[in-house]
Amino acid sequence: VDNQPSHFTLSGYFDVGLLKYLCFVLLLCLYLLIVGANLLLILVICVNRTLHEPMYLFLLSLFVNELYGSSGLFPLLLVQVLSDSHTVSAPLCFLQIFSLHCYGAVEYVSLAVMSYDRYLAICHPLRYGAWMSCGTIGALIAAAWLYGVTVCVVMVALSSSLRLCGNVIHKVYCDNFSVVKLACADITAVNIHGIATILISLGAPLAFIFYTYFKILAVCVAGSRQTRQKAVSTCAPHLTSVLHFTSAAMFELLQGRFDMTGTPLPLRVVLSLYWFTCQPLLNPLVYGLSLSKIRLKCTGLISVPINFRSLL
C-alpha cells in the first residue's frame, strides 16, 4: 500500500543488556500463569453440569476473552523482548491492534451482561429462570463478541487506510491511537469513530452497570439478611473486576492522549501493560476464590489424579 509503511518500529523498548533474558522468563511465566488459570476455570465450568447456569456461562465467555486478549499481546511481546530491532510488519501490527481492542470491547460488554444477570437474579428471582433462558444466554454472549469484532473491524479498516508520515510507535505493542497520530491526512472520520467507540464500549456499559447496582442496592437495603448475603457473595467479585478494569482503562486512555514524556520510560512501559496483563490474571483469582461452587470444583479437579493413584 502506497500510503502505509511496510513495518512499524516499537520505541517503547530500551536496552537492558542481559537482563532481557530475565524479563523474557518473567513475562513467559506470567503468560503461562494466565493461560493455566483461565484454562483451569474454563475446564471446570465445561465438565461440571452443575455449573451450567447463566452466571457461570457468562464467566466462561469472560475467561475465553482473557485467553484471547493475552494471546494477542504476549507472543509478540516475548519475541520483541529478545529482538534487537523491535520492528513489526504492518499486517501483524494491525492484527494486534484488532486483537487487543476487541478484547477490551468484549470485556466491557461481558461485564455489563453479567451485571444484568445479577440484577435479574436478585431483583426478580421468581422470573429469573424464564427471562434468562438458554436462548437469551446464547444471544447475550454472541452479542458481546459480535459487537467487539464489528467495531474493531471498522476501526482497523479506517486506520489502515490512513496516509502515514511515520512508522514509530512509542509503545511496546501496537496501539490504534498511536498509529492514528502518525497520519498526515484528515483523521476526522477516525476520530469520530474513536469517540463513538469509547462512549459505546466504555461509557454505556459503565452507566448500565451502575444502574443495575443501584437497583441491587435498593433491594438489599429493603430485603432480608439472606438477600444481602447472596448479593455480596455474587456481586463482590464482579464489582471488583469492573472497578479494576475501569481504572486500568482510564489510565490507558489518559496515557495515550496526554504527554507522558516526563514519566520514566520503565514506569510507562509497566503501566501500559497493566491493562492487558492484570485483568486476565485477576479475574480467575477473584472468581475462583470468591465463588464457592467454582472453588470446590477446582479443588476436586486438581485432586482427581491423586484419587486415581490411590485406586491403583
Report domain extents, the chain: 7-302
pLDDT, mean of residues 37-48: 91
Residue 288 has pLDDT above 50, yes or no: yes
Segment 115-152, tens digit of pLDDT: 999 999 888 888 898 899 999 999 999 999 999 999 99
Q: What cell numbers appear for 238 in the block?
A: 464482579
- Which of 237, 226, 243, 244 is closest to 295 using CA atoms? 237
Residue 158 has pLDDT above 50, yes or no: yes
For the four alpha carbons of 34, 147, 202 and 273, in that order, the dihedral sign comes to positive
Segment 219-270, tens digit of pLDDT: 887 777 777 777 787 788 888 889 888 888 887 777 766 666 666 777 778 8
Give pLDDT, residue 255: 72
For the four alpha carbons of 36, 37, 40 and 41, in that order, the dihedral sign comes to negative
| pLDDT category of residue 17 using cuts at 50, 70 and 90 | confident
- Which of 220, 268, 184 is closest to 13 using CA atoms? 268
Segment 173-194, tens digit of pLDDT: 998 988 988 888 778 888 888 8
First to last CA, the chain: 64
- 280/277 Cα distance (integer angstroms): 6
- Which of 1, 5, 2 is closest to 179 using CA atoms? 5
Give pLDDT, residue 286: 85
Give the global pTM: 0.87
Query: Taking the mean position of all CA atoms in its chain, how far away is CA 291?
Result: 20
Q: What cell numbers appear for 183 in the block?
A: 497520519
Give pLDDT, residue 106: 95
Where residue 86 falls (left for φ over 0; alpha for ψ -120 to 50; beta otherwise) is left
- 272/12 Cα distance (integer angstroms): 10
Q: Could you write out the three-class secondary structure of 172-220? A: CCCCHHHHHCCECCCCHHHHHHHHHHHHHHHHHHHHHHHHHHHHHHHHH
Please list the residues that pair with 10 across neighbouring strands: 169
Using DSSP, state whether 249 is helix, strand or coil.
helix
Second CATH level (architecture) for the domain 7-302: Up-down Bundle (1.20)
